Structure 1
Amino acid sequence: MTLLDDHVVLITGGGSGLGLGIARHCRTEGAQLAVLEYDPVKVLALKEEFGDDVLVIEGDVRNLADLQACRAAVEQRYGRLTSLIGAQGIFDGNVPLADIDPDRIDQLFDEILSVNVKGYVLAARTFLDMLTAEEGSIVLTSSTAAFAADGGGAAYTASKGAVNSLVRQMAFEFAPRVRVNAVAPSGIAGSQLRGPRALGLEASRQSDIPADVFRRAFEAAAPLQYLPAAEDYGPFYAVLASRQNKIVTGQILVADSGAFNRAMISANPDSFGLGLQN
């Protein structure tokens, strides 16, 4: 028996990077899987990789109609939902606030928070009664940037701090039938987080940083000296999503390769400004 046997799991933002790594791991744990992805190119790639075994839905977490269509597809295919995992996100490029034109701040914050926060709220509300019926769980994605400076710019760090507060509030409201937690990843090898359109960074990805530079900078700050792949975070999401978790709710699991177990995250100037956090 595997951890997610008899579980129906929906992953939002599961088309690449962290979300895809979680999806792959959940499948190995026996989950019946659905993935919501907004990028049509990634939707096609998901269908090619998983075939008919996984329900792949094209849609935008910011759009209630898309989420309702996703719900209808999950109901038609599986008839129930055990776990909702939120993995979508946008990074702000770690651009200092002083370097951002004031005229762009409204657009920047609306863009980042609509995906990183509002998308989670809309998804939770859309699927709440299905999760309640299953005594299920919600697992969102925070970041070590919510706990320490220089993991992103003002918009990104604010969004991840908001996720932490959202987890605690929803855990309180949805108890005792639905557990709500989050994982706070740190660096991810080959991260596909894109930048914001508001800053002209929509074509950029964290993976644009040379892989060897990214790895050296991360490992200099992390006692475990290991830069995780997306799949390495999958087990933490799976445990929190599973019915085996009967007692943990309202918590943020920090997965930082030991970086916060130091008085100073880094004294290496080569590591600054790379935006290592998810």
Structure 2
Amino acid sequence: MSARVGVLGANGRMGQVLLAATNNDGDTQLAGAYVRAHSQLLGVNVNNVVKGLSEHAEGLAFSAFDEQSQCDVLIDFTLPAGMLAHLDIAVAKGTPMVIGTTGLDEQQMQRLYDASEHIPVVFARNFSVGINLLLNLVQTAAQKMGDDADIEVFEAHHRHKIDAPSGTALALGEAIAEAKQWQHDDVAVYDRSQSEQAKSQKEIGYSVLRGGDIVGEHTAYFALMGERLELTHKASSRMTFAQGAVRAAKWVQNKQPGFYTMQEVLEL
């Protein structure tokens, strides 16, 4: 039986791509396109806004998400405050969630862990298959390149992205720190503008670019004297992330309550 999937924040850039990915997947049914309660899109047919949907979406209108919404799985890439409100309703209804919201602080992450005691939650900062393979590759590089390597993480995104560094960049840094048996927060460096000393090999530096319509680029650098390893992932379409999220939605549909990652979905 196909999973009945509801997309939250359905009017946003990522939300519309998620609608298309869900609608066009042969094993999912687009059951909900949810927007804010005061949105001008309420009641508007989804096909009038999102192009390229199959005939299965005919008759589906944008609606507000509440306790009456009926879906097997919810996909949420909205901002933290909205996502947490949706999470409370999902827990009350017992509906699994796939969450790609970034920029969460420690308390907000704890809300996810608490919710996962009641419903299955798949959380990832990036749902692309390539990025999740890259998380494994950077750990191998961190273990094999030695302690004298200089480690840096670079990321670039479109001008509208709010959080910096990106959640994916932080995930790469955290994976490297775990492989090196470092505490990430102790070695992460976000700003060297006030530094008056040479960098240490026991640090992970982050740099950020924001501009234009860049979908997402991430590079982990491992620089030694005489050689440099660069591990890079470039996304050219948001559909990459959306298809990964739909894959996670199908996977989590009948799982027991728990906190899951995309690494588990992909069996990496």
TM-score by length of 1: 0.49
Q: In structure 2, what is the Cα distance between the partners aligned to 1:20 and 1:237?
A: 13
Q: In structure 2, what is the Cα distance between the partners aligned to 1:7 and 1:126?
A: 19
Matched, 1:237 2:245: yes
Letter in 1 for 2:111: L
Partner residue in 2 for 1:249: 258
Change over 3 Å in CA distance of 1:211–1:240 after alignment to 2 = closer
Q: In structure 1, what is the Cα distance between the partners aligned to 2:255 and 2:235?
A: 30
Q: Identity of aligned pairs, percent? A: 8
Q: 1:128 aligns with which of 91, 112, 119?
A: 91
Q: In structure 2, what is the Cα distance between the partners aligned to 1:191 and 1:137?
A: 32
The structure with the largest strand share of the pair is: 2
Matched, 1:52 2:58: yes
Partner residue in 2 for 1:198: none
Change over 3 Å in CA distance of 1:249–1:240 after alignment to 2 = farther
In the TM superposition, residue 237 of structure 1 has moved relative to its aligned partner by 1.7
Secondary structure of residue in 2 paired with 1:31: strand
Q: Which has the larger radius of gyration?
A: 2
CA RMSD of aligned residues (A): 4.0
Change over 3 Å in CA distance of 1:171–1:86 after alignment to 2 = same
Letter in 2 for 1:128: V
Matched, 1:167 2:176: no
Letter in 2 for 1:40: Q
Partner residue in 2 for 1:6: 2
CA contact (8 A) 2:11 2:35 kept: yes
Change over 3 Å in CA distance of 1:226–1:53 after alignment to 2 = farther
Partner residue in 2 for 1:270: none
Q: In structure 2, what is the Cα distance between the partners aligned to 1:42 and 1:230?
A: 24
In the TM superposition, residue 6 of structure 1 has moved relative to its aligned partner by 2.8
Secondary structure of residue in 1 paired with 2:234: coil
Change over 3 Å in CA distance of 1:181–1:122 after alignment to 2 = same
In the TM superposition, residue 179 of structure 1 has moved relative to its aligned partner by 0.6
Partner residue in 1 for 2:122: 181
Q: In structure 1, what is the Cα distance between the partners aligned to 2:92 and 2:236?
A: 35
Q: 2:35 aligns with which of 34, 37, 55?
A: 37
Aligned residue pairs total 174
In the TM superposition, residue 121 of structure 1 has moved relative to its aligned partner by 2.9
Q: In structure 2, what is the Cα distance between the partners aligned to 1:46 and 1:191?
A: 27
Letter in 1 for 2:33: V
Partner residue in 2 for 1:140: 99
Secondary structure of residue in 2 paired with 1:15: coil
Partner residue in 2 for 1:204: none
Secondary structure of residue in 2 paired with 1:233: helix
Q: 2:73 aligns with which of 66, 78, 83?
A: 83
Partner residue in 2 for 1:93: none
In the TM superposition, residue 189 of structure 1 has moved relative to its aligned partner by 6.6
Partner residue in 1 for 2:197: none
Partner residue in 1 for 2:212: 210
In the TM superposition, residue 231 of structure 1 has moved relative to its aligned partner by 1.1
Change over 3 Å in CA distance of 1:194–1:224 after alignment to 2 = closer
Change over 3 Å in CA distance of 1:17–1:188 after alignment to 2 = farther
Letter in 2 for 1:31: Q
Q: In structure 1, what is the Cα distance between the partners aligned to 2:110 and 2:11?
A: 26
TM-score by length of 2: 0.50
Letter in 2 for 1:126: I
Letter in 2 for 1:251: Y
CA contact (8 A) 2:120 2:260 kept: no
In structure 2, the gaps of 5 or more residues are: 132-154, 164-209, 222-229, 264-268
Change over 3 Å in CA distance of 1:53–1:184 after alignment to 2 = farther
Q: In structure 2, what is the Cα distance between the partners aligned to 1:25 and 1:171?
A: 25
